[in-house]
Structure formats: structure tokens, C-alpha cells
Amino acid sequence: MAKTSIYLNFMGQTEEAFNYYKTVFGTDFAAPMMRFSDVPAQPGAQGPQLSEMEMNGIMHVAMPILGGTMIMGTDMLESMGHKLAEGNNVTICLEPDTAVEADRLYDALSHGGSDLAPMRQEFWGYWGCCKDRFGVRWMFNIPSQQ
């Protein structure tokens, strides 16, 4: 079933923030926190080497809060040119039922906006991200197990 969640970006404070949110909402993580060191090597991938501090950073965490809403988070990486600023610290994450629907939503929302990461297959599933013409960031995700 399709769902919507809220994705939060931090500069090295994801673990601290989500441990705090866990006490506030009295819930637990949907799955263990995934660190950048947990990411499998990607064939042919070339990019900057992550520092030990960045390798220990949180790549992904998810936690239910109120009314079935899920918050998710990640640490942005300075070595990848990421800079946290108001406007890129929150993203609306849509999980449509099909890749066709994800592509339709991506195409419509990125029209007049910008492609931040075109829709593509990743090791966890089908994913992409765009900014609409109003400056709102949208992420699309269909986990592989669906």
C-alpha cells in the first residue's frame, strides 16, 4: 500500500536526534540504524573516500511517530559536497505502489523544478529525488521487497 513519510537531513546529528525522538514519541526504530559503513560496495562506483567519522554516520533510520506517520533521517556528507541549509533539511518521501506511478509523480513534480537524483535502481530499491518549482524536495522510494 502506498504511503508518505517525512525525511530529515542532519550534519552528523541523526543518531542523537533520533534517539531523542524515540524518547519523545515512545516508539522504536522500524529497523536498526544503517551506517554508511554498512553500504555494500557498488560496482564501478567512484567517489570520495569517506572519513572514519562519516563512515560512522547514519545512512538511514526510520521510526513511526503519530498516526502511522514515519520519520526517516540521514547524515549529510561534507566530503560529497552536502551542505545543510533551511530548505534541504526536510523532504517529503512518497512510496507509491508501482515504479510507473513513481515515474509519473517524479515527472510531474520535477516539471519546472529540478532533478536532484533521477529515478534509478539502487541496492535497496527504486529511488529518485527532485525539487518542485516551489522549492519543495520530494523523494520517491519503492523498496526491493515490494
DSSP string covering 37-60: GGSPPPTT---PPPPHHHHTSEEE
Distance of CA 124 to the CA centre of its chain: 11
* pLDDT for position 46: 67
If you compute the radius of gyration of the chain from its CA atoms, what whole number of angstroms results?
Answer: 15
pLDDT > 60? residue 146: no
Residue with cell 530499491: 125
> Is 43 part of any domain?
no
Beta-sheet strands, E only, within the chain: 3-10, 34-35, 58-64, 70-75, 90-95, 114-121, 125-131, 137-143
pTM of this structure = 0.70
pLDDT for 47? 61
Q: Domain residues for 138?
A: 3-36+52-143
Specify the higher pLDDT residue, 25 or 62. 62
Tell me, yes or no, whether 86 lies in a domain.
yes
| Residue at 125 is within a domain | yes
Q: What is the pLDDT of residues 59-69, one digit of tens each?
A: 999 999 878 88
Structural domain tally of the chain? Answer: 1
Calculate mean pLDDT across residues 1-5: 86
Q: Hey, what amino acid is at 124?
A: W
**69-104 pLDDT, tens digit each:** 899 999 988 877 778 776 678 889 888 899 999 999
Question: Which string of DSSP letters, residue by residue, matches 24-37?
Answer: HHT---SSPPEEGG
Q: Is 42 within a domain?
A: no
**Residue 16, domain CATH:** 3.10.180.10
The verdict on residue 95 lying in a domain is yes
Cβ proximity of 75 and 13 under 8 Å: yes
Residue 134 has pLDDT above 80, yes or no: no
SS3 125: strand
Residue 46 lies in a domain: no
**What pLDDT is recorded for position 87?**
67
Of 119, 3, 133, 130, give the one whose Cα is nearest residue 72: 3
Helix (H/G/I), strand (E/B), else coil: 97: coil
20 located within any domain: yes
